[in-house]
Amino acid sequence: MSISEEQNALDARPDRLTRGLKARHMSMIAIGGAIGTGVFLTTGKAVSNGGSGSATIAFLVIGFMMYLIMTQLGEMATAMPVSGSWSTYAGKFVDPAFGFGIGWNSWFSAVITIPTEITAANILLRFWLPDLPLLASICISLLFLGLLLVLNIVSAGFYGESEFWFAGIKVVTCAVFIIVGILTILGVLGGNAVGFGNWTVEEAPFVNGFSGLMVVMVTAGFAFQGSEYVGITAGESENPSRDVPRAINSVFWRILIFYVGTIVVISFLIPYTDPNLLAASSSNVAMSPYTIVFERAGLAAAASVVNAVLLTSVLSAGNTMMYGSSRMLYALASEGKAPRVFSRTNARGIPINALLVSVCVGLVSIVAAIYGDVVLGWLVNISAATGFVKWLAISSSHYRFRKAWLLQGHSAEELPYRAKWYPYAPFLAFTLTVFIFFAQVIPGPGGELNWSDIISTYCGIPVVLVTWLGYKIVKRTRVIALKDIDLSEVKADRAERL
């Protein structure tokens, strides 16, 4: 296609995405978004900060919350598949100003995760290159960022296909890690059986008491971020009513098993005092718990291979966040909540301008390359906190969506997919999220607050507050009455139910 022909195509379809994602793409995109730095690096941070017991409890609780939130989002996404997903639902079912604030918060949460994943990739490189020069680290960050751009700029189908194979590698890696870990715990590999020794080291299994558990909850929240991106893929799915429920059901259980299995293996084999864990107060080079376990199992050669696989896996998570953040900005622009220029797509249906903005934010990884682990910790906390706000929006939007649906004379059976335990599930997910979010200010056993964690956790919140309240003041919006919520776009087709 010539330049003029491509420009004509661009002008003919300036703000349309293409439906090029299949069911298998959607499942793997959700897995790819959730399995990255969270499982390969910050699980070590969780054990280091809270001990084995706190880490296990935190990941189980957050996993349960994630299931509730994914099913709630799934109900809305199958009934009304849009690329804006939860921000669009917040604006339609709660308040336009709320949707505006959540949209910008969600974009910020996703886009800040891109430099997080790139920084994690740099940390994994230290396994082979512990003395990597600063300039080389910066160049590698730029190389990784360029790779993510290429994977996202071709087409939605190409992105989905690449993520399918990337995520497949992650699934195999997690499964092999858990198997090797269990064999090491039982003494089949690495010598004698381990036992519960690491669960009783010093302050273990509950390091720093309740406050330690709450800190680990934030880490676990970051780890599960990305699972909900199956909702965004609904806008580019070939058959949302069929594919979204399947993706939700398959993805959740895989992610939960991998995360909890990883935490259990780490808890048995690595003490929380290990200086190589990400959050350890040591000058040692941070390593992935996966690499540590393979080394201690007597599989040093395999550890190097695993580290290479982890590198591709972390970049895969960045790939998903590059996709998600560009679609969020595209949706905001399409709804008039961001400059219209970001709603323009190229001839292949890619929101190119929105994608380039995500790339620019990814340049933060250059700063992270200079300051390393400290910046990664801040990025993780910022992303987790803004992600919790996103979950609050999903639960509140779903509660009002179902309530309006019933009030306006419809039955729940008409919906293509129904979330379980309504109305208790959205209320429980909302309450737990609020509690975890604000419990970060609870002092530790010594009565001291970790101001670094507190500031990094809450510093992203002004994004949603300023945009939400600013829009509300300027546009004078109100919470939409349930009887006035527009449900005309809902696809209520019983024939499409699973």
Is 324 inside a domain boundary?
Answer: yes
Is 2 inside a domain boundary?
Answer: no
Distance CA 279, CA 302 (A): 25
CB 148 within 8 A of CB 394: no
| Cα dihedral across residues 255, 261, 267, 269: positive or negative | negative
Tens of pLDDT, residue by residue over 91-106, are: 999 999 999 999 899 8
pLDDT number for residue 254: 76
Is 1 inside a domain boundary?
Answer: no
Is 9 inside a domain boundary?
Answer: no
Is 163 inside a domain boundary?
Answer: yes
Is 11 inside a domain boundary?
Answer: no
- Is the pLDDT assigned to residue 12 strictly greater than 50? no
pLDDT number for residue 119: 83
Lowest-pLDDT choice from 19-33, 183-197, 306-320: 19-33
Instruction: Specify the number of domains making up the chain.
Output: 1
Q: For 347-357, b where at least 16 C-beta lie within 10 A, e where not — what string?
A: bbbbbbbbbeb
Lowest-pLDDT choice from 250-254, 310-314, 329-333, 380-384: 250-254
Output the six-digit token pair for 202: 């010093």
Q: Which domain holds residue 27?
A: 18-488
Tens of pLDDT, residue by residue over 303-361, are: 788 788 878 877 777 887 888 888 889 888 888 889 999 988 888 778 889 999 989 88
Domain of 236, CATH number, reads 1.20.1740.10
Cis peptide before 443 (omega within 30 of 0): no
- Is the pLDDT assigned to residue 19 strictly greater than 70? no
Residues 6+ apart with CB under 8 A from 458: 385, 440
- Is the pLDDT assigned to residue 63 strictly greater than 60? yes
Q: What is the mean pLDDT of residues 457-478?
A: 91
Distance CA 32, CA 159 (A): 12
Q: Per-residue confidence at 383, pLDDT binned at 50, 70, 90?
A: confident
190 residue type, one letter? G
Picking from 130, 34, 144, 121, the residue whose alpha carbon sits closest to that of residue 383 is 34
- Is the pLDDT assigned to residue 484 strictly greater than 90? yes
Tens of pLDDT, residue by residue over 368-379, are: 667 666 777 788
Distance CA 470, CA 477 (A): 11
More confident residue, 277 or 447: 277
- Using a 10 angstrom Cβ sphere, with 0-12 exposed, 13-18 middle and 19 or more buried, the burial of residue 258 is buried
pTM over 0.85: no
Tens of pLDDT, residue by residue over 418-445, are: 898 999 999 999 998 888 888 777 766 6
Is 12 inside a domain boundary?
Answer: no
Is 323 inside a domain boundary?
Answer: yes
Conformational region of residue 192, where left means phi above 0, alpha means psi within -120 to 50, and beta covers everything else: beta
Beta bridge partners of 237: 21
